[in-house]
Amino acid sequence: MNISDFDYDLPEDRIAQTPIEPRDTARLMVLHPKDGAIEHRQFYELGTYLKKGDVLIFNDTRVIPARLIGTRSHTGGRVEVFLLRQIDKDQWEALVKPGKKVRVGSIIHFGDELSCEILAHTDFGGRIVRFIYDGVFEEILDRLGTMPLPPYIHEKLADRERYQTVYNRVKGSAAAPTAGLHFTESLMQELRDKGVQFGFVTLHVGLGTFRPVHVDVIEDHIMHKEFYSVPAETAKLIQTAKQEGRRIVAVGTTSIRTLEASAAQTGSVEVGTGWTDIFIYPGYQFNVVDAVITNFHLPKSTLIMLVSAFAGRTFTLKAYRTAVEEKYRFFSFGDAMLIQSKA
């Protein structure tokens, strides 16, 4: 398939610059792939489409303040270091700008308490860096780092926690699992009271999720590996639900990729941790996921390809055109979509 098959026209004023308040007052487009119907709701009405015994799977990752601004040791030139994933205690994979001017061996200073050395290049145009510091790295990063908002968001974020889900608990992401941003504690309690069950997985969002596709033929695109974890209680919850014919509803594309990567070998979700470069696009046969909650994604992105794999490309693009016409808000701080099962 060609990358142009996943393009659509989006006016710039449809890109949400700030989060909506309260979280669950975002709009919710409900897609019914079985008959092609499209409904327009609010996210707080999600419970209308869920029933007792449904299992919601959330990605409980927490975004770290992954963007650091420093200066080169000898020239004083400004350098941005964007942390992607931790390799060991002091070494990270990162994106560095301007990359061409920062060579292996360069030292970058982030004030008096933190610096890093460029150790190597990566296959994806990044760098391996080693941090030098006194104290606790996470505490220093909290002080010096900034929240890594996507480049299409130009407004400053007043409250860091609005780029976190209310259920986050495992630090490690370079971007938020944005479908989860719509959930409030009260909505989650309402769903629990209805008999909807919750399971949690972890996928630390990195370059694999937001790296642009630079090839014309999408099958040639190579995903960047991201860390994931599936705990025993979640695997058991899913296995029991599947045996009883109950639905697995994935909250966000990262939850989908975690579940499907975990089930890639056996067809069933397996307990454990690992690294996944799973790339889901039309033609993929889903092993685990029965319904999807997601946001509206960038044109030509791997995320709209994943959604197209689940809902069908033609129907997905029709829904996106409808969303533009109906003035939905797009991308990370935008509105949401619930995609029901085809069956």
Q: What is the CATH number of the domain that holds 36?
A: 3.40.1780.10
Q: Are residues 287 and 222 in the same domain?
A: yes
Distance CA 323, CA 185 (A): 27
Instruction: State the pLDDT at residue 96.
Output: 94
Q: Are residues 31 and 54 in the same domain?
A: yes
Tell me which of 93, 112, 144 is where a domain ends.
144
Query: Domain for residue 150, yes or no?
Result: no
Mean pLDDT, rounded, of the chain: 95
Q: Are residues 181 and 71 in the same domain?
A: no
Instruction: State the pLDDT at residue 261.
Output: 97
Q: Please state the rounded mean pLDDT for residues 319-334.
A: 98
Instruction: State the pLDDT at residue 124.
Output: 83
Predicted confidence (pLDDT) at residue 18 exceeds the cutoff of 90: yes
**Tell me: the pLDDT tens digits for 272-306?**
999 999 999 999 999 999 999 999 999 999 999 99
Q: Which pLDDT band holds residue 262 (cuts at 50, 70, 90)?
A: very high
Q: Please state the rounded mean pLDDT for residues 49-59.
A: 98
Tell me which of 89, 119, 144 is where a domain ends.
144
What would the two tokens of residue 243 be? 């045996």
Top-confidence residue, 185 or 157: 185
Q: Which pLDDT band holds residue 132 (cuts at 50, 70, 90)?
A: very high
Q: Are residues 265 and 327 in the same domain?
A: yes
| Global confidence as pTM | 0.95
The per-residue DSSP string of 169-217 comes to -EEEESS--GGGGG--HHHHHHHHHHT-EEEEEEE---HHHHPPP--SB
Instruction: State the pLDDT at residue 130.
Output: 98
Q: Please state the rounded mean pLDDT for residues 15-29.
A: 97
Q: Are residues 118 and 256 in the same domain?
A: no
Q: Are residues 186 and 249 in the same domain?
A: yes
Q: Are residues 119 and 205 in the same domain?
A: no
Tell me which of 144, 174, 192 is where a domain ends.
144
Q: Are residues 37 and 73 in the same domain?
A: no
Q: Are residues 97 and 84 in the same domain?
A: yes
In this structure, what is the dihedral angle of CA atoms 296, 209, 24, 36, given to the nearest 10 degrees?
A: 40
Query: Domain for residue 279, yes or no?
Result: yes
Q: What is the CATH number of the domain that holds 114?
A: 2.40.10.240
Domain of residue 138: give its range: 67-144
Task: Say if CB 117 and CB 81 are below 8 A apart.
Answer: no
Q: Three-class SS of residue 137?
A: helix
Query: Domain for residue 152, yes or no?
Result: no
